[in-house]
Chain A
Amino acid sequence: MAKRYSNATYRLIRRLKAAGLYAAVALVLVYILFPYYWAIVTSTKSAQAIYGFSLLPSLDFSNYAQLFTNRVFMGALVNSIAVAFASTLIALVIGVLAAYGFGRLHFSAGRYLLIAVLMISVLPQVAVLSGMFEVIGWLRLYNSSGALVVSYLILTLPFTTWILTSFIRDLPVELEEAALIDGCSRLRILTHVLLPLMWPAIASTGLLAFILSWNEFLFALTFILTDENRTVPVAIGLLTGSSRYEVPYGLVMAASVTVTLPLLVLVLIFQRKIVAGLTTGAVKG
């Protein structure tokens, strides 16, 4: 039997519930965001202030000045940008072509090949490490950015293929039927009819592939031997002081913020674009 409360009691319960909801959301936000905020705060503190526990940034940019004159780190930044761009571009071009084959053209082997592609994406990286060493040796790419562009395709290609395939499947077939009757080639249909509609999907898939390459650690640690060819994750991983017990935390945090902030901004910007692309999608008429 349900108890009956007065209107005032109901209002109170409702307000308490809302307060509880917002308190829980605030707790989640602190858990998720505070460590990154603390990295930013630490990166703007002088070598002395770092050991104080002030929760506010102190706007001392000596760590950043030191970082941007660090040739190994700046070199790593350039290498990372080049590698991630090259690997993403190749993965997108090959991925779009394959996605059209899997998503639109019906052939019996397609289903099994697509499952094989998915299986490759869960393959542990160490399982291919020895063989990849040999392939990179044959291509004479050892200790060069090219080694990473090639080896990262095992991470980015299955991913772009899989996502773009599901996206092409969702596009209406009517779009290309007219073009097909007019005698357009399949490649022309892909580049002139589908591609203009796919750019939001390509942009968000490309961003994710870029993040995968940008963050990769194992191959970058293994196939690059010298400091001037390193990428940022490894450079940050190996950034130490004169001894193991004397880590320059201010510098490490400045490096961490530098390599993460542009990506985070992109993720936030593109998130809106993905949503917009999906809502305006649907064919008209």
Chain B
Amino acid sequence: MTPTDHAQRLQTRTAWLFVAPLLVILFAVAIWPLARTIFFAFTDAYLDDPANYGFVGFSNFVTVWEDTIFWRAVSNTLIFTVVSVAIETVLGLAIALLLHRAFFGRGLVRAAILVPWAMPMVVSTRIWDWMLNDQFGLINRILIDLGIIAKGIAWTADPTLLLGVVIFIDVWVTTPFMVLLILAGLQLIPEDLYEAAEISGVPPWKCFWSITLPLVAPAIGVAMLFRTLDALRMFDLSYVLAANNTNTMTMSIYARDQLISFQDLGVGSAASTWVFLIIGFIAILLVGLLRLDRSQH
């Protein structure tokens, strides 16, 4: 054995020692609970006595699959995710382009956009719930004063508006995250590209389409991936605004409801496993798309 071999083996052993505590804890709080959730999905256990169970095959998965409320939750979640991520991306790009320009007080404004992002979702939800109150909410008052509506709209009570309100609040909360990631991408674009374009008389909109957008696209792609995966598991916003109202119920609320409200560990775990599989499938799809896009450049 050569000395370098020995050194490499020693380093490998030391490395494992350094990461061992992380691996042990993540096994205990992530891998094992995930495995047990999938395990319980095949049993008829109840939450009050999980040690007492029998195996029931795939019947819990079928129960969830045949529940129309589950599909309602899936469609709510998908609509919420697609619409809110799309709006956040466009709005985030617009605000990032604005904040990328030089103006007096830019540092302060960049700090200010952290405000909605650092707040608990519960707090944001309750603030907007108050602002959108049908009788005493500021939004209705402004709309009435402007003559746009005649009497207050029941934003948070009207079932047809509820999902839209959820999307609206989510856009307010998470657009700053998009802005920060896109802004970081914009700062990587070399300034001389724009100088060259200006000298050759390229119009600004063409600069945007041919320089800014293609070069910032990887940053936008990564930001959209993380936002999508985050939106798919959304729980708190819908729950605080409307509890388990079927108009805004997400997949996470459905799964937790089966588990906690009905104490049904088997069906609840099957619902959780479905959520895991759906999000996992979408994640693989999106990462694949991003890779494909990268390899073309």
Residues of chain A whose beta carbon lies under 8 Å from any beta carbon of chain B:
2, 21-22, 24-25, 28-29, 31-33, 35-36, 38-39, 42, 50-51, 53, 94-95, 97-98, 100-102, 105-108, 110, 113, 117, 120, 122-135, 137, 150-151, 153-154, 157-158, 161, 186, 211, 214-215, 217-218, 221-222, 232-234, 236-237, 247, 249, 252-253, 256, 259-260, 263-264, 267-268, 271
Chain A residues, Cβ within 8 Å of B133? 249
Residues of chain B whose beta carbon lies under 8 Å from any beta carbon of chain A:
8, 11-12, 14-19, 21-23, 25-26, 28-37, 39-40, 47, 50, 95, 98-99, 101, 103, 109, 111-116, 118-124, 126-128, 130-131, 133, 136, 138, 141, 172, 176, 201, 226, 229-230, 232-233, 235-236, 239-240, 251-252, 255-256, 259-260, 265, 268-269, 271-273, 275-276, 279, 283
CA distance A253 to B119 in the complex (A): 13
8 contacts between A and B (CB under 8 A): A25-B98, A113-B23, A127-B272, A131-B39, A215-B121, A247-B130, A249-B136, A253-B130
Contacts A94-B21, A158-B26, A215-B121 known; list 9 others, CB within 8 Å. A29-B109, A35-B127, A105-B11, A107-B12, A110-B19, A129-B33, A130-B259, A154-B30, A218-B256
Chain B residues, Cβ within 8 Å of A237? 122, 126, 236, 239-240
A32 near B113: Cβ-Cβ < 8 Å? yes
Chain B residues, Cβ within 8 Å of A137? 50
A-B contact count (CB 8 A): 251
CA distance A154 to B28 in the complex (A): 9
Q: A35-B131, A131-B35, A260-B119 are in contact. Are A153 and B18 (CB under 8 A)?
A: no
Q: B136 touches which one: A51, A157, A271 (CB < 8 A)?
A: A51
B15 near A101: Cβ-Cβ < 8 Å? yes
CA distance A134 to B35 in the complex (A): 12
B50 near A127: Cβ-Cβ < 8 Å? no
Closest A residue to B130 by beta carbon equals A249
Chain A residues, Cβ within 8 Å of B124? 35
B235 near A120: Cβ-Cβ < 8 Å? no
Q: A129-B255, A217-B236 are in contact. Are A33 and B112 (CB under 8 A)?
A: yes
CA distance A247 to B95 in the complex (A): 35
Chain B residues, Cβ within 8 Å of A97? 18-19, 21-22
Q: A120-B26, A260-B123 are in contact. Are A267 and B15 (CB under 8 A)?
A: no
Counting chain B CB atoms within 10 Å of each CB, the highest count among A94, A130, A249 belongs to: A130
B114 near A267: Cβ-Cβ < 8 Å? yes
How far is the CB of A233 from the nearest CB of chain B, in Å? 4
CA distance A86 to B260 in the complex (A): 27
Chain B residues, Cβ within 8 Å of A252? 126, 130
B114 near A102: Cβ-Cβ < 8 Å? no
A217 near B121: Cβ-Cβ < 8 Å? yes
Chain A residues, Cβ within 8 Å of B32? 131, 135
Chain B residues, Cβ within 8 Å of A236? 120, 122-123, 126
CA distance A128 to B276 in the complex (A): 9
Q: A130 touches which one: B31, B33, B127, B233 (CB < 8 A)?
A: B33
Q: A117-B26, A122-B226 are in contact. Are A101 and B256 (CB under 8 A)?
A: no
Chain A residues, Cβ within 8 Å of B272? 126-127, 129-130
